[in-house]
Amino acid sequence: MLNCSQVARSIASDEYRTGGLLYRMSIRLHLAMCRQCSRYFRQIRALGSVLREVGDEFPISQALAARDRLLARLSRKP
Amino acid sequence: MGATNFSNPDFLERVKKGDRAALPLLVEAVLPQLLRAGRGMGFSQEESEDLAHSVFAAFLEKPEQFQGRSHIRTYLFGIFYNLVAERYREKSKALEHDPIDEVMESKFDAHGSWRQPPADIEGQLHAKEIGQIIQECLKGLSQPQRVAFYLREHEEWETPEICKKLGITVTNLGVLLFRARNRLRECVEKKGLKKG
């Protein structure tokens, strides 16, 4: 039987995603019975989805300035 | 502006032939995405612009290598990730020690049960300002951790893909992700508890 420490490590390191079917089932079983680990699991997963949603705000003015710098650099022949 | 169809064969032909007039359009379309990815992986604005410059310079050196089989954006990002991987290898020869390992160890008792269970931060994770908190917390990660976390969570690459590109083992990737996620989670928890 896996303990909480092993389950947390497995979740955060992605071991549970790459492990075999039986291994993944034993993790799911632990999560179903353990409120603390399932909370940890939800939070780790939420961090990823937040990252996908927020991205990095990139002001137009900054993008245009960067574009001009880049084009100037590219036009300078080495 | 914005009306250029990058799948248009004429445009692609011009790009392949190295037509320099087509370049600003291409740069304008792809540069913000490259910079966003660079910044997302923990490179500074300057480093990100450097990387982007190298991408376009490499492309212009041999534009004929672009066969038009993939989208031009995908092709440029292919060059970009190769450059990132190169820089990554220079920066991280070995996994350095990270205090987050001890923080995590201290959370469990001798039987491996939670001594300090995760706080209830679910509300926070759905709050409007969470994006800002995460951006702030991301700064606490090492560069290798950010690269690994970005490729996994933002680009949604699978483990073998990331390991191959970065030239690291599955175990090392696991360590990087473990540390990145726990550093972030800890940071969000701390900031939230302070506010609450």
Q: How far apart are CA B31 and CA A78, in angstroms?
A: 21
Contact B130, B185 (CB under 8 A): no
Residue B163's closest CA among B181, B179, B151?
Answer: B151
Contact assignment for B178 to A44 by CB distance below 8 Å: no
Q: Give the total number of structural domains in chain B.
A: 2
Q: What is the pLDDT of residue B1?
A: 41
**Secondary structure (DSSP) of B49-101:** HHHHHHHHHHHHHSGGG--SSS-HHHHHHHHHHHHHHHHHHHH-SSPPP-THH
Same domain membership, residue B121 and residue B87: no
Contact B41, B147 (CB under 8 A): yes
Residue with tokens 């939670």: B114
Tell me the residue range of the domain where B75 lies.
Answer: 9-91
Q: How far apart are CA A58 and CA B49, in angstroms?
A: 13
Contact B175, B95 (CB under 8 A): yes
CATH number at residue B137: 1.10.10.10
Within a domain: residue A16? yes
Q: What is the pLDDT along chain A (78 residues), one digit of tens a residue?
A: 899 999 999 999 999 998 899 999 999 999 999 999 999 999 999 998 888 776 555 667 777 888 889 888 888 755
Within a domain: residue B4? no
Same domain membership, residue B112 and residue B27: no
Q: B156 in helix, strand or coil?
A: coil
Tell me the residue range of the domain where A21 lies.
Answer: 1-54
Same domain membership, residue B145 and residue B60: no
Q: What is the pLDDT of residue B91?
A: 67
Q: At which of B54, B73, B91 does a domain end?
A: B91
Q: Give the total number of structural domains in chain A.
A: 1
Same domain membership, residue B108 and residue B85: no
Within a domain: residue B23? yes
Binning pLDDT at 50, 70 and 90, where does residue B125 land? confident
Q: pLDDT tens for residues B29-87?
A: 899 999 989 988 988 889 999 999 999 999 888 877 887 778 888 999 999 999 999 88
Phi and psi torsions of B114, nearest 5°: -60, 125
Calculate how close chain B gets to A62, using CA atoms only, in Å: 9
Q: How far apart are CA B187 and CA B175, in angstroms?
A: 18
Both tokens of B153, joined, read 């969570």
Q: pLDDT tens for residues B136-156?
A: 899 999 989 999 999 999 999
Within a domain: residue B1? no
CATH number at residue B49: 1.10.1740
Within a domain: residue A48? yes
**Which of A18, A36, A47, A58 to probe the B interface (max B CBs under 10 A)?**
A47
Q: What is the pLDDT of residue B130?
A: 81
Within a domain: residue A59? no
